[in-house]
Amino acid sequence: MPRRPSPKNLKNPLRLLRALCSEPGQAPITQIRLAQITGIAPDHVRNLENSRRPLNRAQLDKILYSIGAKWDRKRNAWMVNGIPDEPFTYTWFQRYRTLWTNHGRDGADGETHMLCRRLQALLQGVEPLDYNLVFDRIYHALEEIRSELKVGAAKSVFDKTAFKIVFACDPKTGEIESIHRSFYLADDEICRHDNDVFGYLDLTSYSSSRRLSLMDIIFGKVKLLDTVVTDPEHFHEIKEKIRVQEQQPDA
């Protein structure tokens, strides 16, 4: 049998919330279930409920977005988000979860764009010494999410967007001149090459520098040539386009 909570924890915000997310007359949902619904780590749920730490803004936001409940510190009660005087109940929990689940991928394109803009702003704005740290944390966090939620449909893309570390050496001395990540781009599932359009997500208009042309991106200006040579036929096609582009005056 589950251990009874101590009297001082009966009015703990998360204990109250677990009870509100259960059918009337039923035992509160488990801490593990609340963690799954809200995205708060199970250990954090336990510590929060044992009053070892207070709810922080990020955790309150996760609860707000996942089930529509907002903690009112003055009333010591959970209220419905957007309706300050409406107490949060099991009926509201069911209704919000149903509507939120049905939202599904309806706005996936727009939300993907917003996430990409966040990533772009973060990677553009971070201090150079911290760039690789930020990149690695994002990269591995995405993999952890995919693995934890068992998103098998994303496995192919994740496998194809793995990278390897490449050392560029001076051909004469053998001295290492640069180190960078190399990605496999010669795959239509990752980068489509329709006619003359190279298939990166088009976020260049938000770039910290001027808008880059296809040729700038692949050759010279941002030095991504090494990421394209995985397909020799495609490489020579791009190289020819570069040659033609360089012969034309700048617009």
**Is the C-alpha dihedral spanning 228, 229, 234, 236 positive or negative?**
positive
Residue 61 has pLDDT above 70, yes or no: yes
Average pLDDT over every residue of 121-135: 93
% of the chain at pLDDT higher than 90:
47
Q: Kindly report the average pLDDT of the chain as a whole number.
A: 79
The segment with the largest mean pLDDT, out of 51-55, 172-176, 229-233, is 172-176
pLDDT digits (tens, 9 = 90+) for 189-223: 777 665 554 556 666 666 655 434 443 433 333 33
Check: pTM over 0.75? Answer yes or no: no
In whole angstroms, give the CA distance from residue 33 to residue 28: 10
Q: Which residues contact 49 (CB under 8 A, 6 or more apart)?
A: 5, 9, 12, 14, 15, 31
Q: What is the pLDDT of residue 8?
A: 63
Average pLDDT over every residue of 163-171: 89
Residue 148 has pLDDT above 70, yes or no: yes
- Comparing CA positions, the residue from 211, 212, 239, 213 lying closest to residue 225 is 239
Which two structure tokens, joined as six digits, stand for 99?
Answer: 């509507």
Per-domain boundaries in the chain: 7-103, 107-152, 161-251
DSSP letter for each residue of 136-148: HHHHHHHHHHHHH
Residue 1 has pLDDT above 80, yes or no: no
- Overall fold of domain 7-103: 434 Repressor (Amino-terminal Domain) (1.10.260)
Average pLDDT over every residue of 215-236: 41
Average pLDDT over every residue of 227-232: 41
Q: What is the pLDDT of residue 37?
A: 94
Q: What is the pLDDT of residue 248?
A: 63
- Comparing CA positions, the residue from 183, 152, 154 lying closest to residue 166 is 183
- Comparing CA positions, the residue from 213, 183, 182 lying closest to residue 197 is 213
Which two structure tokens, joined as six digits, stand for 234?
Answer: 């495609």
Average pLDDT over every residue of 150-174: 90
Range scoring the smallest mean pLDDT among 20-24, 110-114, 118-122, 157-161: 110-114
pLDDT band (50, 70, 90) for residue 77? very high
Three-class SS of residue 178? Answer: strand
Average pLDDT over every residue of 34-45: 93
% of the chain at pLDDT higher than 70:
70
Residue 68 has pLDDT above 50, yes or no: yes
Range scoring the smallest mean pLDDT among 61-70, 80-89, 208-217: 208-217
pLDDT band (50, 70, 90) for residue 102? confident
Q: What is the pLDDT of residue 154?
A: 93
